[in-house]
Chains A and B, each alone.
Chain A
């Protein structure tokens, strides 16, 4: 079974440019997370979807970040315009809430963004 797939793996852009990340969760997983991981730190939640509904986006900087999960499957995370401080690894994870409370999150390999 394929795991969580993210693309691209690496992205280098100039500041003020837009950028988008894509995530394909594990088939059947209804919960999808986007996390931000700065160097030397743990993942910080940006947004969580239950199916197509964003149920927790309190940590998403809405002035420049947006996300969507059309049809409750794939998701994209966009930054426009990017700032130098956005350089980080963006992790996508998914879990299957219907399995009950033990819904471990499976992570993709992440997209490493460098803003220059």
Chain B
């Protein structure tokens, strides 16, 4: 399809791991991104992965990329209440434009 797709909601307990999934559209996309948006704020880049990699780890964040299935995931270890936000998956296409998913609202319960 034409859209970057994500599940809309995820709820976890503090200390658990969170996994947010995304499917993107363009097999030739060069970079895949995860952005975080807190209420009333702009989008903040969390992490990214180059399309020739299948995994990237950055502290509590792990990104997995399955290029064959055009599937991207973000795992947050030891999720904290401060991680509550909306997480957007985005792809950078070879034309240099960026397309975003609708966002996954992560709620972390104490």
Task: Report the separation of the CA atoms of residues A91 and B99 in the bound assembly, to the nearest whole angstrom.
Answer: 14
**Total chain A interface residues with beta-carbon distance under 8 A:** 27
Do residues B98 and A40 form an inter-chain contact, with CB atoms below 8 A?
no
Identify the stretch in A60-68, A71-79, A80-88, A104-112 within 8 Å (CB) of chain B at 4 or more residues: A104-112
In the complex, residue of chain A having the shortest beta-carbon distance to the beta carbon of B3:
A42
Task: Report the separation of the CA atoms of residues A45 and B33 in the bound assembly, to the nearest whole angstrom.
Answer: 16
Do residues B31 and A101 form an inter-chain contact, with CB atoms below 8 A?
yes
| Chain B interface SS verdict (over half) | strand
Contact of B4 (CB < 8 Å), options: A42, A56, A91, A93: A42
Do residues B98 and A45 form an inter-chain contact, with CB atoms below 8 A?
yes
Task: Report the separation of the CA atoms of residues A8 and B88 in the bound assembly, to the nearest whole angstrom.
Answer: 24
Q: Is B43 an interface residue (CB 8 A)?
A: yes
Contact of A105 (CB < 8 Å), options: B30, B98, B103: B98
Residues of chain A lying within 8 A (CB to CB) of residue B88: 42-43
Identify the stretch in B10-18, B66-74, B77-85, B89-97 within 8 Å (CB) of chain A at 4 or more residues: B89-97
Q: Is A24 an interface residue (CB 8 A)?
A: no
